[in-house]
Amino acid sequence: MTMSSFARFGAAATIALIAMGAGVSTATADDPPKAEIDAMRKALAKYEDPYVAVRDLYLSTVGCVHYDGSTMEGHLNYAKGAMGVHFVNLTVQGPPDPLKPNVLIYEPVSKGKLKLVAAEWLVPLAVAKERPVLLGQPFQGPMEGHEPLIPQGFHHYDLHAWLFKDNPLGMFSPTNPDVSCDNADFSLMEMPTKLVTP
Ligand SMILES: [Cu+2]
């Protein structure tokens, strides 16, 4: 390779790298839309105080849910990690609204302290004509209710969004390996939820 061809190669390689970089930063269908994520964070920030959530009828389901990563045929694959404490609002119904989830999720970060980490949308199978999609993310399921906190017969789709704590598995992964139930008064290891036919 002569000096000038090396220079050309270098320039071409640099352009290729810039193009690859641009490719990485360009939004794809899998990327969460930033403006919507920001709007959700803004709308839900008031629930960093769990008592505000309770006053708005997001009621604690007490148990801090976590999974050990075991897999079962015909069940969802939950990576090892926690979901935390679900506060469920049964008055939120209708099609999933990004600014009004029907579940808020808290992590017991120390004794007596809950930190808002995520939101979740639950859509009963009975009202879903097809798999719901929110922020370009298809819901998981349909699945049985998560025993023992939700009756097994409550077949539903759900989607988690880790808006207030990073999830190394991705914002929409159901479990977060960085969330812990170690400080929870009620720590509850669940088995992977069974899938049902729509
Ligand atoms: Cu959950």
What's the pLDDT band for 30 if we cut at 50, 70, 90? low
Full domain range(s) for residue 102 = 32-189
> Are residues 4 and 56 part of one domain?
no
Is 198 inside any structural domain?
no
What's the pLDDT band for 187 if we cut at 50, 70, 90? very high
Mind listing the pLDDT tens digit for each residue in 153-185? 999 999 999 999 999 999 999 999 999 999 999
> Are residues 181 and 88 part of one domain?
yes
More confident residue, 166 or 12: 166
CA dist 136 to 74, 127, 140, Å? 25, 20, 13
pLDDT of residue 145: 94
82 CA to centre of ligand 1 in angstroms: 9
pLDDT of residue 12: 41
pLDDT of residue 32: 73
> Are residues 112 and 136 part of one domain?
yes
Query: Rounded to two decimals, what is the model's pTM?
Result: 0.83
Domain count, the chain: 2
120 CA to centre of ligand 1 in angstroms: 6
Show Cβ contacts of residue 58 under 8 Å, excluding neighbours closer than 6 positions: 47, 87, 88, 89, 103, 104
pLDDT at 22 over 60: no
> Are residues 105 and 135 part of one domain?
yes
Is 124 inside any structural domain?
yes
188 CA to centre of ligand 1 in angstroms: 12
145 CA to centre of ligand 1 in angstroms: 11
Q: What is the dihedral of CA 173, 175, 176, 177, to 10 degrees?
A: -120
pLDDT at 152 over 50: yes
1 CA to centre of ligand 1 in angstroms: 58
pLDDT of residue 140: 97
CA angle, 26 as apex, 130 and 136 as ends, to 5°? Answer: 10
177 with 169: CB under 8 angstroms?
yes
CA distance 112 to 182: 12
> Are residues 114 and 97 part of one domain?
yes
